[in-house]
Amino acid sequence: MLKVYATELRSRLLLGTSRYPSPAVLTEAVKAARAEVVTVSLRRESSGERAGQGFWGIIRELGVRVLPNTAGCHSVKEALTTAQMAREVFGTSWIKLEVIGEDDTLQPDVFGLVEAARILSADGFDVFPYTTEDLVVADRLLEAGCRVLMPWGAPIGSGRGLNNLFGLQALRAHFPDVPLIIDAGIGVPSHAAQAMELGFDAVLINTAVAQASHPALMAAAFAQALEAGRAAHLAGPMEPRDMAAPSTPAIGKAFLG
């Protein structure tokens, strides 16, 4: 079980809800992923009253937990306002905090992120910050009141997987007791399995599922990959070697003269 902010989750796969071809495809993907948490953008879902009501109908039928996000916010003020509105609209203290600092890579503005996280945490929010793998930033976010961190694997929607293995491994090693959820950049199930093998606690996926030719099939593949990666981590993988090591022992081997 994964425990985040006093909530226990069976599934370690969080699913985004944007860019799906249709509500029916989204429904199929969430069910196939066996996801318990989905992220939603206040800006997108509130763009039209009728569309928003339709979306809420889908979420209620699925019975999943909503993690609102501040997607598209480029300043602390904008992120704070969006978070406050999200708490009223969605009725939850959970917020995925995004403060974007660079448009080409959508890299987080880590200075604004820490400031916004401190304010929101003091206001009773359970903050899930979208951040980098920087150790100092992680430490500042925890000091600000965050109890979960969401480091990127690669730029949002890039599908490049885990760009900085050293940095992500260092983050996991430095904060062994903090739930770490890989967010952004995951492209295929093997990327998700690798994250779990490294000891990360969960993965958030949107584009890789929503833009697949068969989203429900891809969602199921990701769910299986996370289970395999988690099991491999718990099993204790062998350490890589520079040289070959025989798998068959030489002792007791017959020699023909």
Active site residue 31: no
Q: Which of 3, 31, 77, 96 is catalytic?
A: 96
- For residue 152, the cross-strand partners are none
Catalytic residue annotation:
96
